[in-house]
Chain A
């Protein structure tokens, strides 16, 4: 087993998501016309939690969609094993909506690029904002998040893993040595 470092525990994650949900509300003076779109799989969980928190704090219902970016990847020929496709489920129109795109870890920016391509294929939103739980830097594309849970600095060989209860049975963010 590789060496692990704990970055966020359950309370940290909860506190961070609370903060992001408040930021979204405050900066936009409400959440009218908003939709959440999570990138499969943990981005979807984050989107759902943010929607739940806004419902709790502000009594607003924001729709949540799930996006599978694999059909938009630019590295299909390079990755070792072919990704298994999951359905993109966005049960609402994105036309003229304010999209908050959610993901767990922001790294090179390529996933976000693919997600943006997919969203614009689905319609023309009024805006797209990006919310991420972890920003580990080292971008390869000019992409910046609007809402950040935590900035961390890790070396290339290290792996940032976000584990969420709905997907993994536990809430924590850890850094492990890559193989």
Chain B
């Protein structure tokens, strides 16, 4: 079983490669990477003509919600993996807020077993920091790591007690487990349904102040500085957050951060329609915040683009805005939206690729995100000029809560190759 990718423009930020190369894959690994590789005479070698396409390390989405176990009517590990493959992702990281919560090795084992059997991409689970996400008792992070988690996070809520968070960071450090922080001061955010700003003032909606995010980011950075445990800040959405992280990095604190495509593609103005697909947490922010997020991506303050793919069914979304669930799906629109930043000159192609490959791999300490002989043959082929209209009814995801339906976008994944196998190709 071998695959030869011919004449693609290979971009690998890890090695600084940007060149037209051929890639030969054998037994799920990259065998060779050369200017010109002749097709081996052995039988069963398939060939992909990648002329005009961008060939990059398989994309990693380090922040998704696959909803299994517990909410299979919204998404399953299988359908989530299909959506991932269709979006160009070869590896996805799934958060712990399932039901039951991934706070013990048996849930981790369940997810990994399911993934082996049903998923078409690599699925890496995140365990919770505290049992049942209650912010009280630490989970068995050692055993969770053995079972296969790549990080811990109480994503969905902030660990309310600074003391518990301190101990969580310290304890995770004993096992070198990365910690991902959901930053939201719950009292300041209580009852809020959108950004506290002009639009919320117009609409009479309860706002979530940017402050609710920033105050906890400040706390996590202080805790990181004190404990020496690196922290990764999830879904950064405000100008203040970007500034705080930038300053912390300058001070040498081991903080990394991600943002999601909706924070650089949409603003609070989208909520004027009262469409519940625009309800997300953290909320869509102001134009100034969006500009700051873009600047943070540009100068490297924000290391990673992750979708925060949060599937919800019509049961949670076809209701009054106040009563609707937070979250939007993103696996199938993430890359095209990020490519818009390349098209508008915010990011170079290599910078963008880095935020989907090398950077998340480094943060999660996984051996992914690079193209070199011997590496896993996780590869994404992108047509950056292919124009299309987002049609959520064609999505592989089980859910439809996408605010980008009907958007005209440019650039998308055309092949997603996982361990040498084509998990998705646009033609089929």
A and B touching (Cβ–Cβ under 8 A): no
Residues of B bordering A, CB below 8 Å: none
